[in-house]
Amino acid sequence: MKTVNQRAWFFVLPVLLLVAFNALVPMMTVVNYSVQETFGDNLFFWEGLRWFEQILTSERFHAALGRQFLFTGIILLIEIPLGIIIALSMPRKGFWVPVCLVTMALPMLIPWNVVGAMWNIFTLPRLGLAGYFLNEIVGINYNMTQSPLAAWITIIVMDVWHWTSLVVLLCYAGLVSIPDAYYQAAKIDGASNWSVFRYIQLPKMKTVLTIAILLRFMDSFNIYTEPFVLTGGGPGNSTTLLSIDLVKIALGQFDLGPAAAMSLIYFAITLLVSWLFYTLMTREDDK
């Protein structure tokens, strides 16, 4: 009978305790604020589920949640197929492999607030390079500070530029793990490129695609820094995503009770949709 050595858990236990402490203490603080009202001086008044009812029936919350789902849906529809296409076109051997990998990784190394500031300067009308090109050379009336459509296009293009690389690298890792014997067998059978992709590459990439979709959903659904620095939620409230609206309620209006309840609802929605994504994508594997 094989003996299982559990001593390795002693090395992992401090990390687990630290992560649990950093997660549980803020969570319990948020739960505490979500059922109480405070006017400062550490005085709290019990409110029960009042803040949850207020948030769930608020048109402001529904509008911000709709914008958040719209943004995340567009991001997934663009970045997942685009990442697969780029990964398929990248070389598997030779000098250009490290060049392509480093190039793909560069956007992800830039801090989030720097990305927002960089794209803000880049797209300013008549001052930024992209803004000047679109307005003065192409002749398009582009102004993200005044046009909601231009603001939406800008934050979507910014996120695609920043995070498609993650999908590319994950898909590329899945592709290079496919043995050459599969391709040789497909070549002997005279399989087309589409057949190779459908029956060999896509099934072998299913695990990494599941990870990519989950990561991109959670990150895009909780995005804050880049769009806030780029547009500030404007013009008007056109790009005020759920995360931006939450910070406005918590810090701008200092309504800590509604903000805490909203953050817990936000967390529950993220957790639920992530679980649905994972369950649907791994259902066939379980069978």
Structure token pair of residue 62: 């529904």
Q: Which pLDDT score, from 0 to 100, does residue 189 have? A: 85
What is the spatial distance between Cα 138 and Cα 244, in angstroms, rounded to a whole number?
33
pLDDT band, residue 285 (cuts 50/70/90):
low
For the chain, the structural domain boundaries read: 59-286
pLDDT band, residue 138 (cuts 50/70/90):
confident
For residues 202-227, b (16+ Cβ closer than 10 Å) or e, as one string?
Answer: eebbebbbbbbbbebbbebbbbebbb
Q: What is the pLDDT of residues 227-272, one digit of tens each?
A: 999 998 989 899 999 999 999 998 888 888 999 999 999 999 999 9
Higher pLDDT, 55 or 280: 55
Q: Which pLDDT score, from 0 to 100, does residue 287 have? A: 55
Structure token pair of residue 182: 């599969």
Q: Which pLDDT score, from 0 to 100, does residue 191 have? A: 86
Averaged pLDDT, 165-172: 94
Q: Which pLDDT score, from 0 to 100, does residue 259 have? A: 93
* Beta-bridge partners for 37: 45
Q: Which pLDDT score, from 0 to 100, does residue 1 have? A: 54
Q: Is CATH 3.40.50.1820 the right assignment for the domain spanning 59-286?
A: no
